[in-house]
Amino acid sequence: MTGAQLYQLFYGSGSFNHKLFLAVNHAALPFLDVVMPGITFLGGSQLVYPYLLLLAILYAVDKRLMPARYLAVYAAATILSLGVEALLKDFFHVPRPVAAIGLEGVRVLGHVSRSFSLPSGHAVFSFMTAFVLGYGRSLRWKAPLFTCAVLVAWSRIYVGAHYPLDVAVGGIVGAACGLIVWKIWEAGERFISHRRKGLE
């Protein structure tokens, strides 16, 4: 199957992905028209520095609440996830809904991006954040973190920036990047622990 055929299968006007995008994007609820652009802003990777600062403040206030390893893993996972996102976008070259459908067929709330669409960077970043900060913690941590990530992903469809498949793939990529960095961190901790025991 050619690339063009795959695109039509997953993004063509007859695909479930395309139809679901139009259903969500054209919902046009006044309350959501106000709220969703704000949610999508909060899920952007441009806020990584304020978020790191917030985590650092939490660490300074209570190291049991926010251990240093969470800050280190979050910083590393952010770098990895942004790199993977850029590579995948350049590989797939999927056009944004506005580019594929046209401005007349898409409700755009906010900035109209001209970059490629797959995967959604907001979904990558928000799910990476949820996975990293929720790792090894109770449902009291995981539930609000992943609820926020899902809302960010949904907002990207609602504001006309991404197809559902873009945010689904973005969520998987973000969580996977978080898992990879955590596993590397834990392997490093085990290695150091074994070395210390060997020196005793």
pLDDT bracket for residue 74 (50, 70, 90): very high
Alpha carbons 80 and 178: distance in angstroms, whole number: 9
Q: What is the CA radius of gyration of the chain?
A: 19
Verdict on whether the full-model pTM lies above 0.85: yes
Q: Looking at residue 198, what is its pLDDT?
A: 63
Predicted confidence (pLDDT) per residue in 95-142, tens digit: 999 999 998 999 999 887 888 999 999 999 999 999 999 999 999 999
Are 116 and 157 in contact by the 8 Å Cβ rule? The answer is no
Predicted confidence (pLDDT) per residue in 143-181, tens digit: 999 999 999 999 999 999 999 999 999 999 999 999 999
pLDDT bracket for residue 200 (50, 70, 90): low
Q: Looking at residue 199, what is its pLDDT?
A: 63
Q: What are phi and psi of 93, to 5 degrees?
A: 55, 40
Are 106 and 158 in contact by the 8 Å Cβ rule? The answer is no
**Measured between alpha carbons, how far is residue 61 from residues 38, 53, 65, 69, 72 in Å?**
28, 12, 8, 15, 17
